[in-house]
Chains A and B, each alone.
Chain A
Amino acid sequence: MTQIIWDGLFVGSFYALIALGYSMVYGIIKLLNFAHGDIYMLGAFIGFVMLTSMGGLPGALGIGALLVVLLVSMALTGGAGVLIERFAYRPLRKAPRLAVLITAVGVSFTLQYGVSAIMGSNPRSYPVRLEGDVFDVLGARISLPQVLLMAIAAILMISLNTYIQKTSTGRAMRSISLDMKGSLLMGINVNSVITRTFFIGSALAGAAGVMSGAYYGKIDFMMGFLIGLKAFTAAVIGGIGNIQGAMLGGLVLGLLEAFGASVFGGEWRDVFSFVVLILFLTLRPTGILGERVTERV
């Protein structure tokens, strides 16, 4: 039982990291960034390339080097997110929603098959594999890398939350999500704030990519598809557009999934989480923490 909870929380913290990007972007420009899961994949591959080019690393240096790789990958995926926003989404900001969604599908395709064309379509094994002592807490087997990765995830999320609550950019983000035109009239540089949002969201997804590569050891160009869908589910569960909601949603989905898999069997895990998604969207589209969004006549 405690094992299930622990596993759920661990997977859930990955979901939460990615869900944040979905939620931030959705909150601000009401865009469902379909390619977000692929940014996670991109992060994993950037980390892979860097670690491979460094060659073998002594085990002691592993963690430190991994942190550096993590930061560089975050910067690069963040940059990729900014470019995507600039060239694919910004020209369509006033376009019908259907066109924007289709563009997002196109971006997702481009990222997936771009990486596949460069890196090949077969899975790659990560050059660094986090391994460490396993200890027993209340009947759950917990490994040191798991604790480490969750700590990194927690630090990233807490700093993001502080950033949004305390800084002027954070304030600008919140005001744009309430009223873009009004914010523009109040002298907020909307484009620059949107750029920052994409940078932060993509950087977080990139971090999750590197972390999962290092933990699970295998990466491939389609790895972002499923987790992107899961992270979107997490964002919806928490209340899309809501930052704390995304974190909460990630953990809740991780837990639900872990329980669902133990009840229905592992092969139904994904079906279970999609059913959760559909139930939430139809019965409570505002999520746990979300506020009511009314579409005006």
Chain B
Amino acid sequence: MSGSTFKSQAPRRMGPVAAKVSGLLESKYLGWIALAAALLAPLLTASPYSLNVMTTAAIFVMLAAGLNIVVGYCGLLDLGYIAFMAVGAYTSGIVSRAFDLPLFFTIPAVLVMTILAGLIIGAPTLRLRSDYLAIVTLGFGEITRITANNLAVTGGPSGIYGIPKLLTFGDFSVHSPAVFYYVTILIVAFFVLASARLGKSRLGRAWRFVREDEDAAEAMGIHTYKVKLMAYIFGAVWGGFAGVLFASHLTAISPKTFIFLQSALVLMAVVLGGMGNMRGVVVGALVISLLPELLRDLSEYRYLAFGLLLVVAMVFRPKGLWPARPHEDERTGAEPQTAVDAAVSRGESR
């Protein structure tokens, strides 16, 4: 083997600070560090404004985590992802108001509706070529928004107001912004962790196989269509739950919230962060949602900047700014031979 083969794996030369940062970013405790930072943030700033911004950012992270399953893991471009958030938000809003329930108890309905939405959008379209799929998802996104705008049950253009709180125990309700922030952070953390873990499982590998080479995946016995549908359904559920949090956070929803711009912003978070790399996606989502708050004066140019950044990123770093760098340990030697024999013989008996 020639020495140059490992070039891309060789440690790049960097300064001590950069090395520390890099080490921190690749650290396996990064998730815990991030969670701790999120939980401690209100100690630094707990004004209603900053809590609102941080809660919104956390919900946005959850959306990005869901879209990352579809686009990052499975390689399916979804340009109407916000529709799933709309389905979740409207379902919980309508059900909770109709039965006068706290939002928490609408979760089964939300689950059913988002899975249904994932199936309805996915089933007829997943056999399409990738570019057709992109445009069809865009069409579905618009259909969802216009339908919400036209129907009476969704409140028409003015939407739904006065959505109940997430949870109420007698006198105690999750309505103080700080409490809701903490609840949101914990839920989002769970979903981010769950999608990261899914990515490293049998199903997650199947998604990547499909993304890399559908024919080769089929030849290994992977039903590419089913696997893609699973990605869609998981993405839909993530988006739907983000919608519940969103409805609870704002207590009001309207079709104007679920425009294409929002789908595009979530997509940017995923793409710029690094498709398939959950850490990168979380960072991307935080940047996309927090940067405009920090640069209020430039707000007119922010979408222009995002658009240009997207083009530049694709031309120069088509895998995103912080792409997944597949790497795992070489043989640890820890596997006992008996386990190998068991695994192999079990397979052979089929």
Interface residues of A (CB under 8 A from B): 30-32, 34, 87-88, 91-92, 95-103, 105-114, 116-117, 225-226, 229, 232, 236, 267-268, 270-271, 274-275, 277-278, 281-282, 285, 295, 297
Digit string of B113-145 for contact with A (CB within 8 Å is 1, else 0)? 000000000001101111110111011101100
Q: Is the CB of B131 within 8 A of A270?
A: no
A7 to chain B, nearest CB (A): 20
Task: Given contact pairs A101-B134, A109-B264, A295-B129, enumerate 5 new A-B contacts (beta carbons under 8 Å).
Answer: A92-B314, A106-B311, A112-B307, A116-B304, A278-B124
Shortest Cβ distance from B301 into A: residue:
A117
B86 to chain A, nearest CB (A): 14
Q: Is the CB of A271 within 8 A of B143?
A: yes
Shortest Cβ distance from A296 into B: residue:
B215
Q: When chains A and B are docked, how far (Å) is the Cα of A3 from the Cα of B313?
A: 49
B332 to chain A, nearest CB (A): 33
Chain B residues near A100 (CB, 8 Å)?
Answer: 314
Q: Is the CB of B142 within 8 A of A106?
A: no
Chain B residues near A110 (CB, 8 Å)?
Answer: 304, 307-308, 311
B232 to chain A, nearest CB (A): 15
Q: Is the CB of B142 within 8 A of A105?
A: no
Q: Is the CB of B150 within 8 A of A103?
A: no
Q: When chains A and B are docked, how far (Å) is the Cα of A268 from the Cα of B150?
A: 8
| Cβ-defined partner of A91 (8 Å) among B71, B140, B300, B315 | B315
A284 to chain B, nearest CB (A): 12
Chain B residues near A88 (CB, 8 Å)?
Answer: 311, 315
Q: When chains A and B are docked, how far (Å) is the Cα of A117 from the Cα of B298?
A: 10
Q: Is the CB of B306 within 8 A of A109?
A: yes
Q: Is the CB of B130 within 8 A of A101?
A: yes
Q: Is the CB of B318 within 8 A of A267?
A: no
B77 CB-CB contact with A under 8 Å: yes
Digit string of B7-35 for contact with A (CB within 8 Å is 1, else 0)? 00000000000000000000000000000
| Cβ-defined partner of B307 (8 Å) among A30, A107, A271, A275 | A107
| Cβ-defined partner of B143 (8 Å) among A101, A107, A111, A275 | A275
> At the interface, is chain A mostly helix, strand, loop or mixed?
helix
Shortest Cβ distance from B314 into A: residue:
A103
Q: Is the CB of B132 within 8 A of A229?
A: no
Q: Is the CB of A278 within 8 A of B77?
A: no
| Cβ-defined partner of A277 (8 Å) among B129, B135, B309, B310 | B135
B123 to chain A, nearest CB (A): 9
Q: When chains A and B are docked, how far (Å) is the Cα of A229 from the Cα of B303?
A: 21
| Cβ-defined partner of A102 (8 Å) among B124, B128, B271 | B271
Q: When chains A and B are docked, how far (Å) is the Cα of A269 from the Cα of B216?
A: 42
- Given A117-B304, A281-B125, CB of A103 within 8 Å of CB of B315: yes
A170 to chain B, nearest CB (A): 25
Chain B residues near A111 (CB, 8 Å)?
Answer: 307
B236 CB-CB contact with A under 8 Å: no
Within 8 A of A (CB), among B302-333: 303-304, 306-311, 313-315, 318
Chain B residues near A109 (CB, 8 Å)?
Answer: 264, 303-304, 306-307, 310
Give the most central of A87, A98, A271: most B CB within 10 Å: A98
Shortest Cβ distance from A270 into B: residue:
B146
B260 CB-CB contact with A under 8 Å: yes
Give the most central of B77, B79, B304: most A CB within 10 Å: B304
Within 8 A of A (CB), among B258-305: 260, 264, 267, 271, 300-301, 303-304
Q: When chains A and B are docked, how far (Å) is the Cα of A271 from the Cα of B77?
A: 21
A271 to chain B, nearest CB (A): 5
Q: Is the CB of B128 within 8 A of A285?
A: yes
B158 CB-CB contact with A under 8 Å: no
Q: When chains A and B are docked, how far (Å) is the Cα of A110 from the Cα of B264?
A: 12
B204 CB-CB contact with A under 8 Å: no
